Amino acid sequence: MDNSDERIAGQVKELVAANHVLFARGVVDGFGHVSVRHAIDPARFLLSRSMAPALVASGDILTYDLEGREVRDDTRPSYIERFIHSEVYRARPDVMAVVHSHSPAVIPFSVVKSATIRPVYHLAGFLGESTPVYEIREDAGDSTDLLIRDSRLGAALSRCLKQHVAVLLRGHGSTVVGENLRQAVFRAVYLEMNARIQADALQLGEVTYLTAEEAAAAAITNERQMDRAWDLWLWEAERHRSIYT
């Protein structure tokens, strides 16, 4: 195995772990998916075949190009919404990993126009000042199944994402990006937690949000400690699996 094969094997291993972690943390269930940009060819990315993330093993990881095509013509079914990943990688060269989920606490912020998700605590500082909401009706009318089914809708979603780290999809879920896989997972987990805490806080009264400067400073601190959370979540996910297998 040469050096590039080893790098890809390492990516596959971490991507399998990311699938399990996201399930154990309640970000994905039967649905949702996570990808990583190919370490050797930036015009490709790695993503599981269509299946529940908790059950993903290394043999399920496929390689896609930026058209959303499986490069080895693997005939196993692909995720319908793989175009979220392909178009975000196309539009954002800085993005190395993408998580798409329907994590439940985020959904209310996608459907209530006056409710904007904002960082209420330091661990969600990466959210910055605002998070856009994608309205599929503007591109595909009011009778779709809300899924990002092709490159055109994937491109429209990534235009809405702009340079943000997350975008909500109205009545559907969210998409979170990272400069590496662990960061994307961290952000997906804490986007969900922030949504839950923000909704709880709004019940109590007026909410004090992080300032833009606080959010930026907290994000830098968290970045340095990300592996601490990753190691715990991996341990938790492996324990979780050992109960059932």
Binding footprint of Zn ion on the chain (CB under 5 A)? 81
**In contact, 219 and 130? CB cutoff 8 Å:** no
CA separation for the pair 119, 107 (Å, rounded): 16
Is 11 or 103 the residue whose CB approaches Zn ion more closely?
Answer: 103
- Residue 95 sits at φ, ψ, to 5 deg, of -85, 130
In Å, how far are 28, 31, 56, 57, 90 from 189, measured between CA atoms? 10, 15, 19, 21, 24
Is 102 or 240 the residue whose CB approaches Zn ion more closely?
Answer: 102
Regarding beta strands 166-169 and 133-134, do their DSSP bridges make them parallel or antiparallel, or are they unpaired? Answer: parallel
Catalytic residues: 81
Q: Please, what is the minimum distance in Å from the beta carbon of residue 29 to Zn ion?
A: 12
Q: Please, what is the minimum distance in Å from the beta carbon of residue 84 to Zn ion?
A: 8
Q: Please, what is the minimum distance in Å from the beta carbon of residue 101 to Zn ion?
A: 7
Q: Please, what is the minimum distance in Å from the beta carbon of residue 7 to Zn ion?
A: 29
Is 103 or 198 the residue whose CB approaches Zn ion more closely?
Answer: 103
Is 152 or 239 the residue whose CB approaches Zn ion more closely?
Answer: 152
Alpha helices, H only, the chain: 3-24, 82-91, 107-111, 137-140, 151-161, 181-204, 212-224, 226-244
